[in-house]
Amino acid sequence: MRKLIVGLGGTTRANSSSERAVRVVLDHVARQGGEVAMFGGPEIALPLYAPEVPFRTAEAQKLTEALRRADGIVLGSPGYHGMISGLVKNALDYCEDMRGDTRPYFEGRAVGCIACAAGWQAVGSTLAALRSVVHALRGWPTPLGVGINTATKIFDENGVCTDEGVGRQLEIVAAQVMDFAHRSRKAA
């Protein structure tokens, strides 16, 4: 059975570094036989999450349904002022709608984390924040989290990773998410 890996990340700007990084991981997942779904900037530009408001947009419903079905997840965020962007955090807040599920939040799923920023300090703090959110959502951050310093050119105009080291790390995250997805479903 093919494993569904859901990617979530980016900015309001199409083809941002964080969105491209998540897409590179999903490309590796697809080459390994996984099914992929990507939720980039436009798909995660959702209304501010309000738990007391029962109405959910079609986009919010599509995201939470994909996350419910996911065997693994890949998150990518820009580092804005040393933290996860509001766009990514708000999209993750919609996971609260999954609290009553049989498999609540990210329970039993590996989550690859990627942080992009124009400087190592913001990269490190953003990656640590992403991993903390994954723990809070009961997910398993992959052993390798990828920090990308975008002060240098990492992706070409077609979204291809031009940095060999970063490319290898993104490939490792894909392998770790897929490996865990296969192991966790066998155990279930």
The mean predicted confidence, pLDDT, of the chain is 95
Q: Does the pLDDT of residue 61 top 60, yes or no? A: yes
Amino acid at 100: G
Q: What is the DSSP pairing of strand 140-141 with strand 146-149?
A: unpaired
Within 13 Å and on the Cβ side, how many CA atoms surround 83?
Answer: 7
User: What confidence category does residue 1 fall into, taking pLDDT thresholds of 50, 70 and 90?
Assistant: confident
> Angle 127-141-98 (CA atoms, 0-180°, nearest 5)?
105
In sequence order, the 6+-apart residues with CB closer than 8 A to the CB of 62 are: 43
CA distance 67 to 39: 10
User: What confidence category does residue 75 fall into, taking pLDDT thresholds of 50, 70 and 90?
Assistant: very high
pLDDT in tens, 101-142: 999 999 999 999 999 999 999 999 999 999 999 999 999 999
User: What confidence category does residue 146 fall into, taking pLDDT thresholds of 50, 70 and 90?
Assistant: very high
Tell me if 69 sits within 8 A of 4, measured CB to CB: yes
Structure tokens at 111: 């989550």
Mapping DSSP to helix (H, G, I), strand (E, B) and coil, where does residue 90 land?
Answer: helix
CA distance 112 to 144: 8
> For the domain 4-187, what is the CATH code?
3.40.50.360
